[in-house]
Structure 1
């Protein structure tokens, strides 16, 4: 599977279930098939729960909904029964924040650490800011400890607050009214950390992708459906990569 396919799957993984961001295994399934499979697995797993477990999970879901409604905090839940969470053992509450103005995005990034995408000064004529998104980390010591504590607790779900200062993923989107130009910053996991150089590809839907690797903790990407050249995409991406 190529890098673009993996990134596409990662993007689709933001489907909400149990109030969380969840993903599907890299099977040869359409989005609709994956959703249907997840719902079926969840229904089957629910039947095996005791009344006490079901009540505990419902109460925890209600509690977390209220918590994220009234704050910008992020919570991570460990799932004893993974089939209730599309086969994943973790789910996130308040992991993603969206901003409708660049000013609001800048205020948030000023409180974060490390390199974070900035608005490129060399955007093509006509492109204006559309939205920005910042997501929490999804890997590290916190998550290993959460899994261990969750298993030890014996509870169907076990939740902890995640305090974070470095983002897991960042996205800036711009539009000229027809095309959406997207610039992304991804945390490089063990596999992506090994990659060096650049990659360019064009998908069946006409969207072109350009990636820059070997830049440390993060790798970067830009995509568009316009007739923008690979060279121009590279220049814009470099301008957005804050050192």
Structure 2
């Protein structure tokens, strides 16, 4: 027996004691139906609100305003594929090294720079800077959820202005060979300066290599208190581990 029906039966039983069965039972049934309808209307309203919010946010992303970051909160997870939040992001993307440097200079955190020892012939291809979601995601989610609660909303989104890099990716190429550089906020428990870790493309598991061929690269990694760094090259690239270490010495500006 559902709660609405159980409430109706209990109310009818009490009404019998006072000799007003018909009127009270009808009134209770009406109240139960009204309550049920309210729930349905609320769900329908939230569904429309989710669809409307997603349409607005998709339109905002289509405008391609670099740096835009929105987080959508949906109280009823069932209306959002089981997720309470959804991120909408337009990262900064660059076609020239100069554009990248200009934007990186405006943000807190380490900046990747073209290594002084990078062999002649390597040219900047593209790059991007992503928001610090890994570092501040929990905080951002609490903020948008708190705003929704304060406004009595089941669906709400908020724009976040970020002034700290979360991840940087740069690509340089020389003919068929390429070199990628990355810095990202480090979420590991054991933070601290680490030595270099180097793995060749040949060391990748065959299954992973088959499923994710783009992951198969020669990789030099290291970290500090807050960030992890990578310099990777394509399989067959002549740059050695020692040469990548040399590049790393001038690859980061803090």
TM-score, length-scaled by structure 2 = 0.66
Q: Work out which of the two has the higher radius of gyration on C-alpha atoms and give 1 or 2.
A: 2
Q: CA deviation at 1:110?
A: 1.9
CA contact 1:183–1:237 (8 Å) conserved in 2: no
- Give the secondary-structure state (helix, strand or coil) at the position aligned to 1:174: strand
CA contact 2:85–2:141 (8 Å) conserved in 1: no
The alignment status of 1:142 with 2:139, answered yes or no, reads: yes
Which residue of 96, 100, 105 maps to 1:105?
Answer: 100
- Give the secondary-structure state (helix, strand or coil) at the position aligned to 1:149: helix
CA contact 2:115–2:251 (8 Å) conserved in 1: yes
1:155-170 to 2 correspondences below 5 Å = 155=153, 157-170=155-168
Q: How many residues in Structure 1 have an aligned counterpart in Structure 2? A: 194
Give ranges in structure 2 of 5+ residues lacking alignment: 1-41
2:226 corresponds to which residue? 217
Q: Aligned partners of 2:60, 2:171: CA distance in 1, in Å?
A: 28
CA contact 1:150–1:157 (8 Å) conserved in 2: no
- Give the secondary-structure state (helix, strand or coil) at the position aligned to 2:125: strand
Q: CA deviation at 1:235?
A: 1.8
- Deviations, residues 175-217 of structure 1 (Å, cap 9, x unaligned): 112123110001011436257222111334551111111x222
CA RMSD of aligned residues (A): 2.8
Q: Aligned partners of 2:192, 2:93: CA distance in 1, in Å?
A: 30
2:178 corresponds to which residue? 180
1:57-206 to 2 correspondences below 5 Å = 57-68=50-61, 69=63, 71-72=65-66, 73-80=68-75, 89-138=84-133, 139-140=135-136, 142-146=139-143, 148-149=145-146, 152=149, 155=153, 157-191=155-189, 193=191, 196-202=194-200, 203=204, 204=209, 205=213, 206=216
- Give the secondary-structure state (helix, strand or coil) at the position aligned to 2:170: strand
Q: Aligned partners of 1:227, 1:66: CA distance in 2, in Å?
A: 45
CA contact 2:124–2:172 (8 Å) conserved in 1: yes
Give ranges in structure 1 of 5+ residues lacking alignment: 1-48
Q: CA deviation at 1:94?
A: 2.6
Q: Which has the higher helix share?
A: 2
CA contact 1:184–1:222 (8 Å) conserved in 2: yes
Q: Are the structure 2 counterparts of residues 129 and 144 from structure 1 closer, same or farther at C-alpha, using a change threshold of 3 Å?
A: same
Q: Aligned partners of 1:172, 1:240: CA distance in 2, in Å?
A: 11
Q: CA deviation at 1:144?
A: 4.8
Q: Aligned partners of 1:52, 1:143: CA distance in 2, in Å?
A: 25
Q: Are the structure 2 counterparts of residues 70 and 219 from structure 1 closer, same or farther at C-alpha, using a change threshold of 3 Å?
A: closer
Q: CA deviation at 1:143?
A: 2.3
- Give the secondary-structure state (helix, strand or coil) at the position aligned to 1:197: coil
